[in-house]
Structures are given as structure tokens and as C-alpha cells.
Amino acid sequence: MSILIDGLPAAPDDLAHQALVNYGAYTSFRVEHGAVRGLDLHLARLDQAAVELFGESPGEAEFRRLSALAVEGRDACWLRVSLFSPEIGHRNPSFVGPPKVMTVVSPPPPPLATSMRVTIVPYVREAPHLKHVATFGQTRVRRAARSGGFDDALFVDDQGHVSEGVTWNTGFIQGGRIVWPQAPMLAGVTQVLIDRGLAGQGLSSQTRPVHMSELAGFDGAFLCNSATPVCPITHIDQATFGNDTAVLDRLNQAWLSQRPQSIAD
């Protein structure tokens, strides 16, 4: 693992600050030969989060420069780009200015699973539109789900509408249409990439509220994130899904059809 902060070796004080103050945001993705699927979306996510959380952004050019420096000389790796500010703490949260950028390079992780059994949990992440670093609630929910015999948890809001999983988005299959839930949640990069490629696979999509009471009426369900482009969900509590492998293959091809974008451009 290699950790740089603003392009320099990480200093102990900066690492200690992040261990003690969980205020920040990040994005993470697989890099192959200096290119990333959905890089434009990842950079836009970082820019939006920087402005919202810190008041200013280092800017796309700086994100690209620091990312390219971090992955230089590597054919394939996993890159996490995190934003934080040592000037912001619990007692002094008022600083406004561009955050520091931490890049962490590690080997690409395996997919979450080849199939998933999940349980419904009423839960809405704080600031759900952000990929932020405050993950206590998500980790607690995942631990509880696994203690209960499931692989993971699927979140619903206080009205029973499906939103997202612990660290992933979900979609439902209804004939030749993919139904994406509409609720407070993170707009996942992999979800967007799949959606962009659906037409080329003869599939369409719809984004609408999905109530937990209608889950059993879908033909299939799947999850997606940057490490796991498409993974079938076989059970949501008592609802079971057969998941046509041909449709799942088309979803994966929809993702693959989105060409990697060079970090250096």
C-alpha cells in the first residue's frame, strides 16, 4: 500500500487527524494502464464534495495530477482519493478552503461476492448523496446482517422505499427493463455506467420509487459498485429471485462497453 498526501509521503500528523476526525469524502476505483471507467464521474464527485464540505475544490486538473502521480508505473491497482482538512475538527469546524488530497494505492480488491442474500434494514445514511467517510452506521448494519445469517443489508427509508445497500447500489429486473430505485442515496458511478450502456444491449431503464412491498414481483435483482460491476441478489428476506444469467451478462456487457478514460488527459 502506498499513501501520499498532496503528492508527498503521508505525514504522521495528517494520518492521526484522519483517525480522530471523520470529516471528509472520497471516491475509489480500479485503474488499468492509467485509465479508469467513469473517471469523469469520479472527478465530478470529488469536486462536488470538496465544494460542499470545504467551500473550495482543488479542481479537476489537480485531482488528475495527484492520481497520475500515485499510480505511476503500475499496470493495475486500486486507487482511493480522499479529501480532508487538518484545520477542521470537532471544536473548530469553520475553516473554508481547499482540502488536502490523500491518494491510497493498493492491489485491486476481489468482487464483494458472486451472489448475495440480503435483509431489509430501515436506514438512511447521513448526507446520503455524498460518498463520505462517516461509515460507523454502515459497518454496524452489515455486522448485524451477517450475524443474522445474511450477506449484507438493503436500506429502506421511513416510508419503506428502497434506496441503496451498505456500499452498493441496486437495480431490479422487470422483463427487458432495469428499474433503479429513487430515494435519498448515492448516485453510484457503476450504476451510471451500466445505465449508459443498456441501450446497446437491448435493455431500457426507469428510475422510480420502489416500495419494499413490491420486491417479490420483480424477475431479478442485482447490486453494483466499482469493485463488483454486477452481482445477483438471490434473496431479499423472503423474496427470492431466479436471475436470468443472460440478462446479467448483458448488464455486465453494458458496463464493459464504457471505455476507460485516461487519467493523464
Domain ranges of the chain: 2-106, 116-256
Give the distance, in angstroms, between the CA of residue 141 and the centroid of all CA atoms in the same chain.
17
CATH number assigned to the domain covering 116-256:
3.20.10.10
Angle between helices 189-197 and 39-54 (to 10 degrees): 140
Contact predicate 190/255, CB 8 Å: yes
Give the distance, in angstroms, between the CA of residue 162 and the centroid of all CA atoms in the same chain.
17
List the strands of the sheet with 2-5, edge to edge.
8-9, 2-5, 100-106, 76-84, 25-32, 35-36, 261-262
Q: What is the pLDDT along the chain (265 residues), one digit of tens a residue?
A: 899 999 999 999 999 999 999 999 999 999 999 999 999 999 999 999 999 999 999 999 999 999 999 999 999 999 999 999 999 999 999 999 999 999 999 999 999 999 999 999 999 999 999 999 999 999 999 999 999 999 999 999 999 999 999 999 999 999 999 999 999 999 999 999 999 999 999 999 999 999 999 999 999 999 999 999 999 999 999 999 988 999 999 999 999 999 999 998 7
Tell me the whole-structure pTM to 2 decimals.
Answer: 0.94
* Side-chain half-sphere exposure of 160, counting CA atoms within 13 A: 5
From 177, 172, 132, 127, select the one nearest 154 (Cα to Cα). 172
Fold of 2-106: D-amino Acid Aminotransferase; Chain A, domain 1 (3.30.470)
Sign, CA torsion 192/56/24/39 = positive
How crowded is residue 183: how many other Cβ atoms within 10 Å of its Cβ?
A: 16
